[in-house]
Amino acid sequence: MKHTFTRYQVFVIAILAIIQFTVILDFMVLSPLGDLLMTRLRITTAQFGWVVSGYAFSAFASGILAAGFADKFDRKKLLLFFYVGFTLGTALCAMATDYPSLLIARIVTGLFGGVMGSIGFAIITDLFAIEVRGRVMGFVQMAFAVSQVLGIPISLELASRFDWHTPFWMIVVFCALLGVVIVVYLKPITTHLRAEKDHNPFMHLAKTISHPDYLMAFAATALLATGGFMLMPFGSAFSIHNLGIKQEQLTVVYGVTGVFNMILGPLIGRVSDNVGKYKIFVIGSLVSIAVILFYTQLGITPLWMVIAISVVMFGGVSARMISSSALVSAIPALPDRGAFMSINASIQQLAGGIASAVAGFIVFRPEHGPVEHYPTLGYVVMATMVISILLMYNVDVFVKKKLSAAPRAPQPPVAPEVMAEH
């Protein structure tokens, strides 16, 4: 059955995608600015690893604390609360002047930004059926590519023309404008409140986090962030000092890669709905493993080859992200969706934070030399991807059993409360 989205459904997808864009950009901009930050603030690779992991650890803590309350409120109100906090945290990043203040700013930003993704995924799960969820995830995850095409190049240009603080101020202004749009046009999302049974948020948290079926998904997704948190923070330093790419050429690399992934994202989502989400996850993982094995061994490399490798590698990562997000979203029951998504994102952030901290100790860059031990980092990432393929297989089996046991009544692509045109 072919589903078409109404104008309001398209609006919801667009809002979630733009929110995801700002959150991803806030995290991703640290990678291309990494070499600049380490130089200007005189911080080591280990300290920079803590700047990245500080966000992840605080996101883990806030996600766990918020999980018990995630299904107690209108998801629109919850979204706005955390988005305001995320905007304030980004403003602190824009005002940071040294390593301690930047670390504190990233911790504050993580307290709020780390929960944004889980709220968005809960909204998608509430409003869109599993048959079209791959398409929706594909469009929302396209924000990852847009941040490369528009966000990162613009951020790098602002940083080079003015100061490294400027990209964070840009994100703050954008978030403030988007917040107004959300307040005015997004409708309340309250279907889950009618199904919610646990009045005690701590009991709700305990029940969700100990649910046997959910534990399987938590274990599988714990490894998904490892590659990004390990390789990306040091990607710019590796490109400049090992591959021979100039700082200004990074804009070209990120921009071209992003254009390709803007095209690939929705296509991957559609294919995952038609072919199978787990199959696409496996293909994306194998492609990523092959590229990482080659990429991390490189020395001085022509710009065109770096761009080609980046396009393929990010394509594999996008396939993993889109397919796994759609697959895992089918696991929780309606009353637990908010809590499940929040805990799931928190565990992923914790794993990513540990990965980033470990990466900061594995790699080393002398003051006037290339990044060392990057291939070792690649081997660690590849190992986690192999394990995630095995764990995600169990998730796929569970989801298929759950869907086959469910009533086969026709299901609309969106919840009734948003079927009307806005």
Three-state SS string across 172-230, please?
HHHHHHHHHHHHHHCCCCCHHHHHCCCCCHHHHHHHHHCCHHHHHHHHHHCCCCHHHHH
Which are the contacts of 248, defined by CB distance < 8 A and separation ≥ 6? 156, 160
> What does each of the 422 residues of the chain score in pLDDT, given as a tens digit?
456 778 888 898 889 988 988 888 887 777 667 667 777 777 777 777 788 778 878 888 887 777 767 677 788 888 999 999 999 999 998 888 888 888 899 999 988 987 887 788 788 878 887 777 777 877 777 776 677 666 767 777 777 777 778 888 989 999 999 999 999 998 888 776 766 555 566 776 777 777 887 888 888 877 776 766 677 767 777 888 888 888 778 778 877 887 887 788 788 888 888 888 899 999 999 999 999 999 989 889 999 999 999 889 888 888 888 888 888 878 887 777 777 877 887 787 777 777 877 887 888 777 677 878 888 888 988 988 898 898 889 888 888 888 777 655 444 444 444 444 33
Residue 349: per-residue pLDDT:
73
Half-sphere exposure of 145 (CA within 13 A, CB side): 29
Please name the CATH architecture into which domain 8-188+197-404 falls. Answer: Up-down Bundle (1.20)
> How far is the C-alpha of 383 from the C-alpha of 405, rounded, in Å?
34
Report the greatest alpha carbon distance in the chain. 65
Residue 177: per-residue pLDDT:
94
> How far is the C-alpha of 188 from the C-alpha of 419, rounded, in Å?
13
> How far is the C-alpha of 102 from the C-alpha of 107, rounded, in Å?
9
> How far is the C-alpha of 375 from the C-alpha of 241, rounded, in Å?
14
Domain boundaries, the chain: 8-188+197-404
- pTM metric for this prediction: 0.69
Query: In whole angstroms, how far apart are CA 383 and each of 181, 269, 371, 375, 390?
Result: 43, 25, 21, 13, 11
Residue 227: per-residue pLDDT:
64
Identify whether the C-beta of residue 377 lies closer than 8 Å to the C-beta of residue 296.
yes
Identify whether the C-beta of residue 360 lies closer than 8 Å to the C-beta of residue 303.
no
Residue 319: per-residue pLDDT:
87
Residues 250-261 as b/e (b if ≥16 CB within 10 A, e otherwise) read: bbbbbbbbbebb
Residue 418: per-residue pLDDT:
45
